[in-house]
Amino acid sequence: MAKYVKASDSIIEVVNDQGKKLKVTERAYNIVYKGKGFKPVNEVSNKAQDPNTSEVDYFTLSTEELQEIKNDDLKAFLDKEGISYKSSDNKDDLIKLITGE
C-alpha cells in the first residue's frame, strides 16, 4: 500500500521571459524552474510596477543574480555602458567587469 506524505512546500506562481505562467511548489521552483529562467510572479511584478526602471541596472545586482543572466544579455549591457570586453570572455569575466572586481 502506498503511503502519501503531504508536502510542506507552498505553491507559488512563476513566469518565464516569454510570459508563460505556472503554479509550482517552492521546492520544484528551486530545483527545476529557477534554472530554466523562471522567476516568481511577485518579483517580476514588483520590477514592472516601478516606473523609473525600464531596464534592470546590472551594476546593482549581486554576483549570484548576475550568474542567472545569459551571456548575450551581459554583453549587451556592457555594450550599452561602453565597457569593452573580449569576445572570448566567459560569464565570470563579464561579471567581473560589471562588478568591478
pLDDT digits (tens, 9 = 90+) for 23-82: 888 888 888 888 888 888 876 555 544 444 446 788 888 888 899 999 988 998 899 889
Please tell me the pTM assigned to this model: 0.47
* 1-10, 29-38, 45-54, 86-95: segment of lowest average pLDDT: 45-54
CB atoms within 10 A of CB 54: 7
Please state which CATH class domain 55-101 belongs to. mainly alpha
Give 13's contacts (C-beta < 8 A, 6+ positions apart). 21, 22, 23, 40, 41
Give ranges for CATH 1.10.720 in the chain. 55-101
